[in-house]
Structure 1
Amino acid sequence: MSTAPRTVVGVSGGVDSSVAAWLLAQSGEPLAGLFMQNWDDDGSGECRAEEDRRDAVAVCGRLGIPFHFRDFSKEYWAGVFEHFLAEYAAGRTPNPDVLCNREVKFKHFLDAARELGAERIATGHYAQVLHEGGRWRLLRGADRDKDQTYFLHQLGQAQLAATLFPIGHLPKAEVRRLAREAGLPTHAKKDSTGICFIGERDFREFLGRYLAAQPGEIRDPQGVRIGTHPGVFYFTLGQREGLAIGGVRGRPAAPWYVVGKDVAGNILYVDQDRDSPWLMAGTVETEAMHWVEGAPPATEFDCTAQVRYRQQDEPCRVRVRDDGTLSVRFVRPQRAATPGQSLVLYDGPVCLGGAVIASTDAPVPGQAGGAAG
């Protein structure tokens, strides 16, 4: 007689999800593994989906648990990739990992697990869940260098109530050790980085397949022409690589950094100061905020925030507007707070939630004043 699993673990073919599955299997949890294909690879990159799937099958075989496969590539295209393209076309810098977690891993994956008869899902994310005072809280992973709550801030009460993070209390080195001692075939596998659908291929070449690039001028903040660029949406604030600016007459032999983008005018603005005043913002305005616990702690409060992944906690004052958007004033100016990226709030180890950055008060190159947006 077949028994439905109580938990379905997302097996990605990596070491983190492998150890998450192993820990649950060791505890006697009725378990199955599920591999998600989120991108219909065209064969032009190094997405490694087939290799990852083979490794996931091998891990499930090693643990003696059923293996399942689901193709979510259509859902990924509609829920994540179309937004990714629209944001780049608008000159913003999106974060597809945030949307992938909300739209695929903790939505379609959770639905698929329930179709298999499971009550909940488990993943190899470095995060923790705490049930306290009748509410579910999202806590940072114990390994601060690997903590992934920045990418999980769009989760809510229903998802956290049905989710396990078995390795959230472990440092990465311990995860590797457990994998090695358990004989898991992924124990020495290199961590994946970047976005799977881009893989090892050239980012500009990939994006150029979907967005028609127009070469334009590179200027300094005062409007003086410095060079040319292949397409303004290939670049993001604070970026140094890929500008291909050689020696400029009358300018120091120092690196250049992107400090602004005029999408309508197809102009890229650069400066030679890594901490250029054109990159520094004291206040960040956001789109509608998502609160993990469903509501803000107050209409105005102090906490810490990150405007990018792996950033140190930055103290700030938060004001919640009537329409759900935020105005966040930082104690120290923030470098390259980028529209399209996520601002995520924390109270100590507790992730309060996050929102997409809409604009900042950093000065706009080529203008006398105003706010970047």
Structure 2
Amino acid sequence: MNKNSNHCFIYTIRCKIMAMKIAVALSGGVDSSTALYLLKKEGHDLFGLFMKNWEEEDREGHCIAEKDAEDARAVCELLDIPFYTVNFAKEYWDNVFTHFLKEIELGHTPNPDILCNREIKFKVLFEKALALGADALATGHYCQTQNGQLHKGLDPNKDQSYFLYTIKSSTLNRVHFPIGHLEKPHVRALAEKASLPVFSKKDSTGICFIGKRNFRTFLEKYIPHEPGIIETTDGKQVGTHDGIYYYTIGQRKGMGVGGPGEPWFVAAKDKKSRKLIIAQGEDHPALFAPALIATEPSWVTEEPTFPLHCRAKIRYRQTEQPCTVEKSRDTLHVRFDEPQRAITPRQSVVFYDGPRCLGGAIIDHPTH
């Protein structure tokens, strides 16, 4: 029996103990659709929920989310499952987007997906699902749960526990991740075998409300230009920019700085002086720091004992790195065994003990 089959067997036995009424959050993509299909096979009483979080039309006047909603509806019709749409555009604007804009204006690089999961999907949508009579909510995230704990998804290339570290165990006890024990190719194969109309649909990428649009073009609708200078780490002015919020730490392209030698990278942003500090070379020392300060800690279950020796990552695609975490009041000091590249303020540092996600915090600044 291969590892996918073994995980699938364990998951099926666990879920078939008792049929439940489950609301399935549908995005119109292959992952949530396959999650719905698997729960249908297990005999649960299901209904699909599609969230509309953004009130905006494209150039032709079509709602951006309309196609995704149509795809989600088509899957429900195929599987003979009730389908509903819910509009959380106001909640999203108030609790996610305005926060995103505020952070951008301060020169930070926030992660709206983490906030969306905390404030919308696993709060507003979760509460809506229960109000409609569901016993639990299911999503297409590549994660797993065990006794209220959050565990990484089996597929290391798709694991999404980084985005869910703010979800508490009390909520996770009523959440299902039906595809968390599968690898992405297996999910697509299941969707194709079931003739789901979205089996070959491409994965969505980037920030949900920006979609395929240029990030800078989108921001210009909400934030005015704040021109400043581009300066090297040794104080030499080499160009100008229209606003430091268009850039993120570690960024390589888009500065308009060329010339001989290695590429240039964003090393720091100074909101007060409006300076964009750049360093030449991917391994320039200015891009690295051995430690960071983080605030707003959030733990899935109980707070751990400090000092905490664990592994952590400072961005979604990074492999977890060994570190030691100390706590002072509500502030965490995270020191890595090896210096980390491009530690970015207002991104999240997320902590792991093997496959288990312990929680995380918001990066305030790198430190030595």
Gaps of 5+ in 2: 1-19
Counterparts in 2 of 1:318-333, with a 5 A limit? 318-321=325-328, 323-333=329-339
What's 1:228 paired with?
A: 240
Contact 2:48–2:82 at 8 Å: present in 1 too?
yes
Q: Which residue is 1:306 aligned to?
A: 313
Per-residue CA deviation, residues 135-193 of structure 1 (Å, 9 max, x unaligned), is x1100000011000000000002210110000000000000000000000000000000
Q: Which amino acid aligns with 2:245?
A: F
- The offset of 1:264, in angstroms, is 1.0
Please say if 1:7 is aligned against 2:22: yes
The answer for the alignment partner of 2:276 in structure 1 is 268
- Residue in 2 aligned with 1:368? none
* Cα separation, 2, equivalents of 1:224 and 1:253: 16
TM-score by length of 2: 0.92
Distance in 2 of aligned mates of 1:325 and 1:29: 43
User: TM-score, structure 1 length as denominator?
Assistant: 0.91
> Which residue of structure 1 aligns with residue 142 of structure 2?
126
* Selected match of 2:343 from 328, 331, 337: 337
Which stretches of structure 1, 4 residues or longer, exceed 6 Å deviation after superposition?
A: none
Q: Does 1:259 align with 2:267?
A: yes
Choose the corresponding residue for 1:95, options 85, 107, 111. Answer: 111
1:22 partner letter: Y
C-alpha distance in 1 between matches for 2:52 and 2:156: 28
1:259-298 aligned within 5 A: 259-296=267-304, 298=305
Query: 1:337 Cα shift?
Result: 0.7
CA distance in 1: counterparts of 2:59 and 2:236, whole angstroms? 39
Counterpart in 2 of 1:43?
58
- 1:210 lines up with 2:222 in the alignment: yes
Contact (CA 8 Å) 1:157, 1:294: kept in 2 or not? no
Distance 1:238 1:101 in 2: 26
Check whether the contact 2:57–2:64 (CA below 8 A) recurs between aligned residues: no
The one of 190, 193, 205 equivalent to 2:205 is 193
**Match of 1:241, SS?**
coil
- 1:103-182 correspondence to structure 2 within 5 Å: 103-131=119-147, 136-182=148-194
Cα distance in 2 between the residues matched to 1:188 and 1:335: 36
Give the Cα separation in 1 of the matches to 2:249 and 2:300.
28
Identity %: 49
Native 8 Å contact 1:44 1:201 kept in 2: no
Matched AA of 1:360? P
Give the structure 1 partner of residue 47 of structure 2: 32
Count of aligned pairs between the two proteins = 349
Q: Distance in 1 between matches of 2:190 and 2:92?
A: 32
SS for the counterpart of 1:236 is: coil
Measured in 2, the distance between the counterparts of 1:47 and 1:279 equals: 41
Deviation at 1:291, TM superposition (A): 0.5
For 2:88, the equivalent position in structure 1 comes to 72
Query: Within the alignment, does 1:246 sit opposite 2:258 as a pair?
Result: yes
CA RMSD between the two structures: 1.5
Give yes or no for contact 1:314–1:330 (8 Å, CA) kept in 2: yes
User: Displacement of 1:47 after TM fit?
Assistant: 8.0
Q: Which amino acid aligns with 2:331?
A: T
Q: Is the 8 A contact 1:47 1:199 kept in 2?
A: no
Once residues 87 and 358 of structure 2 are traced to their aligned partners in structure 1, the CA distance between those partners, rounded to angstroms, is 32
Distance 1:345-1:32 versus aligned 2 partners, 3 A rule: same
User: What is the DSSP-based 3-state SS (H/G/I as helix, E as strand, rest coil) of the residue aligned with 2:281?
Assistant: coil
SS in 2 for 1:288: strand
Is this contact kept in 2: 1:47–1:200, CA < 8 A?
no
**Which deviates further from its counterpart, 286-295 or 120-129?**
286-295
Correspondence 1:317 to 2:333: no
Q: 1:212 to 1:99 in 2, by over 3 A?
A: same
